[in-house]
């Protein structure tokens, strides 16, 4: 799962990033309003953590932009401003949660999991597609109730396909979701094909009722 942190305080931004990366999230950061605005406009995330007080603008305007673009990111406001008015304003604009600084990282992790579960999984702990059952929080996959061992990127790919069933996914969008925004610097995306090839074989060998199809020149879809 992919998270964007929009926070201008370097120390807090780094601590939160490192903590989330230990939990196997892909984490991108923005230190000001304009960078956050650019990233939200170009990339997709599972969850965005937004500080209200930012250089060049307000985090509330970032919430407005996500809603204007009709994007599906879970939004959590993290801010030292703990007034009722700020909290109500953020939630009224469409934020999914509000966490006042200072906060415990364990609570942040729980809030993120809960927000993503509500937004992406209809409140369920598991995602099911035919005979495949995936637990995003436990990072486990079961096929016909038997556990399937996947490496980190194989799991991330399967997760992305599972939350986008039957949807044609552009190869670049898939790579950005699983490998992060720095994928822009890559000369080619051959490594995506390699990981998908391995994932296909494991799914087939395990008897999964799903097929990852390549659409020439565009990308992939799972059916």
Determine the pLDDT at residue 188.
63
Q: Choose the final residue of a domain: 94, 120, 146.
A: 120
Domain end marker among 57, 89, 120: 120
Q: How many domains does the chain have?
A: 2
Query: Would you state the pLDDT for residue 193?
Result: 83
**Do 114 and 26 fall into the same domain?**
yes
Q: Are 219 and 170 in contact (CB under 8 A)?
A: yes
Give the chain's length: 223
- Whether residues 87 and 139 share a domain: the answer is no
Same domain for 97 and 181? Answer: no
C-beta atoms surrounding 25 within 10 Å? 19
* Whether residue 148 sits in one domain with residue 49: no
Task: State the Cα–Cα distance between residues 97 and 160, nearest whole angstrom.
Answer: 23
C-beta separation of 150 from 159 below 8 A: no
At residue 36, the pLDDT reads 95
3-state secondary structure of 37: helix
Phi-psi region of 56 (alpha: psi -120 to 50; beta: other; left: phi over 0): left
Same domain for 155 and 204, yes or no, is: yes
Q: What angle do CA 213, 219, 223 make, to 5 degrees?
A: 30
Give the tokens for residue 29.
């950061």
Q: Which of 120, 140, 161 is the last residue of a domain?
A: 120
CATH code at position 67 = 3.40.50.2300
CATH number at residue 164: 1.10.10.10
Estimate the share of the chain in helix, then strand, then coil, as percent rounded to the nearest 5.
45, 25, 30
pLDDT of residue 181: 62
Return averaged pLDDT per consecutive 10 residues of the chain, 223 residues in all.
93 94 91 94 91 92 90 88 77 89 90 84 77 88 92 88 84 77 62 86 92 85 87
Range of the domain at 190: 127-222
Distance CA 4, CA 8 (A): 13
Shared domain for 93 and 9, answered yes or no, is: yes
């Amino acid at each position: 799962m992919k998270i964007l942190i929009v926070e201008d305080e370097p120390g807090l931004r780094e601590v939160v990033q490192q903590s989330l990366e230990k939990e196997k999230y892909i984490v991108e950061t923005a230190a000001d309003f304009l960078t956050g605005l650019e990233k939200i406009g170009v990339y997709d995330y599972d969850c965005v953590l937004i500080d209200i007080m930012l250089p060049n603008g307000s985090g509330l305007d970032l919430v407005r932009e996500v809603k204007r673009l009709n994007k599906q990111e879970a939004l959590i406001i993290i801010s030292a401003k703990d007034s009722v008015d700020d909290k109500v304003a953020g939630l009224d604009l469409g934020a999914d949660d509000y966490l006042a600084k200072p906060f415990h990282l364990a609570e942040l992790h729980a809030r993120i999991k809960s927000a993503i579960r509500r937004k992406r999984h209809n409140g369920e702990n598991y995602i099911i597609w035919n005979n495949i059952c995936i637990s995003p929080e436990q990072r486990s996959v079961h096929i016909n109730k038997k556990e399937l061992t996947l490496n980190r990127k194989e799991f991330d790919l399967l997760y992305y396909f599972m939350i986008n069933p039957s949807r044609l996914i552009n190869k670049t969008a898939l790579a950005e979701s699983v490998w992060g925004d720095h994928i822009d610097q890559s000369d080619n995306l051959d490594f995506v094909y390699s990981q998908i090839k391995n994932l296909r074989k494991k799914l087939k060998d395990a008897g999964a009722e799903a097929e990852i199809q390549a659409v020439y020149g565009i990308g992939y879809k799972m059916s």
